[in-house]
Structure 1
Amino acid sequence: MSEKEKMLAGELYDPSDEELSALRTKTHRLCLEYNGLPETDKRRTEILHELGISGGSFFLQGPVQFDYGCFTSVGKNFYANFNFTCLDCCPVTIGDNVFFGPGVSLLTPVHPFRWQERNPYVKQDGTVTDSEYAKPINIGSNCWLAGNVTVCGGVAIGEGCVIGAGSVVTRDIPPDSLAAGVPCRVIRKITDADRMKARPEF
């Protein structure tokens, strides 16, 4: 089993692996280029394709930062405001019509709790590395994550949720929930009583 396969399977892996290092280097270079371009530049679309982000239509305001990009899939009409960070060491799946406020972070990596297993070490070839693993993130369709929300690895956010600004989501959130806080907790269900004005349903 390769280190990449271990990583995507949620097992302990070596991030200094040559294949993973090359992928991250390419991705970080492309993110740097993307972030230096005006939002109307067509090269931005090419870069997103080169990153390997798969799925529907999306607009990333920038700046953005991915670890790999190719392990992230998005649905139709995905929008991320300024300073979107996605550490996709495990698959990140984002549904249709999802909006992110500025400063949203999706963080799949996890490190061992015991420092004896977490701290860097030197391999036989002299390379310094550490042990880590990752857990997937799944965000359902029709969600809005407000500014500076952090979603931790292993979390699923159900369809139709609103996550309040500054929240740290450490556990699953059921569909159609208004949730907020550190750690993020469900405040209440979102219902028809929240309707603000007449608008055709679709």
Structure 2
Amino acid sequence: MTEFEKMSQGLAFNGGDDGISAIRANAFVHLQALNAQRSDNITDIAQKLFGHFDPESMVMTPFQCEFGKNIHIGRQTFLNMGVVMLDGAPITLGNNVLVGPNCQFYTAGHPLDYRRRRQWETFCKPIVVENDVWIGGNVVVCQGVTIGARSVIAANSVVTQDVPPDSLVGGTPAKVIRKIHENGDTDALETA
């Protein structure tokens, strides 16, 4: 098993491994090309950078990530400008997901024990955003979180735990504010 595979699966890994460094360097080249393009002309580069990128999706630039190949973006998904994804583990965005500007997705974490942090010990857990989710601007999604289908994350929230489907969540740390009822939310969350 490669060090990149270990990292992606949440196992202990060597962050200075040549293979990991090569993947990071490759992502840097593609990011430079992506961020130099108009946002409506990035499909070819995005398909080289990401593990999966549906051509019906859009990424506004600037966009930043660490590896790229651990990011999987579904159909008709939109990432607004300034999104940052630290993708040491997979980050999966479903179909019809809207991500507001300056959102951050962090799969990496570090031990509470300072002695282990001195060794730069890192562990990564995946992030999953299911179909039809709307994430407001300046949201931080932390490692290991799954955001359930059709949920809305209010702007400036920090999501530290799983979000049930059909939920409006907000705050720091984000908490469920209420359930979203199909066909009953026409006043729906324009402020999210």
Larger Cα Rg: Structure 1 or Structure 2? 1
Equivalents in 2 of 1:135, 1:78: separation in Å?
22
1:173 and 2:163 are equivalent in the alignment? yes
Alignment correspondent of 1:195:
186
Whether contact under 8 Å (1:14, 1:132) holds in the other structure is: no
Moved over 6 A (4+): none
Does residue 1:45 correspond to 2:36, yes or no?
no
Counterpart residue type for residue 129 of structure 2: I
For the residues of structure 2 that align with 1:61 and 1:101, how far apart are their CA atoms?
10
Q: Is the 8 Å Cα contact of residues 95 and 131 (structure 2) preserved in structure 1? A: yes
1:154 aligns with 2:144: yes
State how 1:2-151 maps to structure 2 within 5 Å: 2-40=2-40, 42=41, 44-56=42-54, 57-120=56-119, 130-151=120-141
The gaps in structure 1 that reach 5 residues or longer are: 121-129, 198-202
- Cα deviations by residue, 1:112-163 (Å, 9 ceiling, x for unpaired): 111100124xxxxxxxxx2211000011100000000010010000000000
CA contact (8 A) 1:84 1:102 kept: yes
Give SS of 2:177's match.
Answer: strand
Number of paired residues?
186
SS in 1 for 2:39: coil
- RMSD in angstroms over aligned alpha carbons? 1.5
SS at match of 2:6: helix
Distance 1:76 1:33 in 2: 22
Distance 1:47 1:82 in 2: 17
Q: Is the 8 A contact 1:92 1:136 kept in 2?
A: yes
Q: Deviations over 1:17-55 (max 9, x none)?
A: 100011111112221222122234x4x222112113304
SS at match of 1:194: coil
Whether contact under 8 Å (2:99, 2:134) holds in the other structure is yes
Letter in structure 2 aligned against 1:179: V
Instruction: Write the deviation string for residues 48-69 of structure 1: whole angstroms up to 9, x where unpaired.
Output: 1211330433100110011111
CA-CA distance at 1:195 after TM superposition: 2.1
What's the offset of the Cα at 1:6? 1.1
Q: Percent identity?
A: 35
Q: TM-score, normalised by structure 1?
A: 0.87
Equivalent residue of 1:179, what SS? strand
Normalised TM-score (structure 2):
0.92
> Do the aligned residues in 1 keep the contact of 2:47 with 2:53 (CA within 8 Å)?
no
